[in-house]
Amino acid sequence: MPDLHRPKIAAIYNLTYNWWQNAGAINYVAHAITAAPAAFPLANSIAIAAGGGPNQHPDQQYWQGNMAAAIAAAGGAAAIVRVEVDCTLMPCDGQFNGCLFRVPYLIRQAGLPNKPLRIFSHRDEGIGGAGTSKRYFDCNSSDNNAALIAAHAANNGWSWTPWNGAYP
């Protein structure tokens, strides 16, 4: 499967383009993607020093706030066609409190049930194929643990491409 060529939509690219660097913290942000196409941040990006258990990872900390106003600004849950998550690293998948399992649940709790998710990592974790290090995978906020494990295992590479007015 070829790498995903991700358009440099300004709202996401300008915030995340340098997250591949090993800067000592783990960065995290999520955007609601609408059919327009437009990207609306669901909260401010966060950066948390590495370490601690999964409940202290930025993946889970990000979703602890109230996202109702941000969802409304995107046109409401029905207008959101996908949620894109950008994190320095792929979500941890340890046991059942790992970020891989908790984040979709937290997204449902935030008011976005049954939404497609596209989760991007920005740092080389030694899992990339030939010529790529950034990884992504697609899943759904309503997926069960078995589906999340399969989606995570089927991760693929991605790279930025110039913005052309379309956002797949």
- At 71-106, the pLDDT tens digits run 999 999 999 999 999 999 999 988 778 999 999 999
- Do residues 88 and 99 make contact, with C-beta atoms less than 8 angstroms apart? no
Whole-angstrom distance, CA of residue 101 vs CA of residue 106:
9
Q: How many CB atoms lie within 10 A of CB 24?
A: 8
Place of tokens 């327009």: 36
Whole-angstrom distance, CA of residue 168 vs CA of residue 148:
21
Mean residue pLDDT across the chain: 90
* Lowest mean pLDDT, pick from 11-15, 26-30, 67-71, 92-96: 92-96
Task: Answer yes or no: is pLDDT of 2 > 80.
Answer: no
Q: What percent of the chain has pLDDT over 90?
A: 68
- Do residues 80 and 71 make contact, with C-beta atoms less than 8 angstroms apart? yes
Task: Answer yes or no: is pLDDT of 23 > 80.
Answer: no
Q: What is the pLDDT of residue 128?
A: 53
Report, as an integer, the average pLDDT of 39-66. 92
Q: Which of 106, 161, 116, 107 is nearest to 134 (CA)?
A: 161
Name the 3-class secondary structure at 97: coil
- Do residues 164 and 6 make contact, with C-beta atoms less than 8 angstroms apart? no
Whole-angstrom distance, CA of residue 70 vs CA of residue 138:
22
Q: What is the pLDDT of residue 152?
A: 94
Q: What is the pLDDT of residue 99?
A: 96
Q: What is the pLDDT of residue 37?
A: 85
Task: Answer yes or no: is pLDDT of 1 > 80.
Answer: no
Backbone angles phi, psi at 17, to 5 degrees: -60, -25
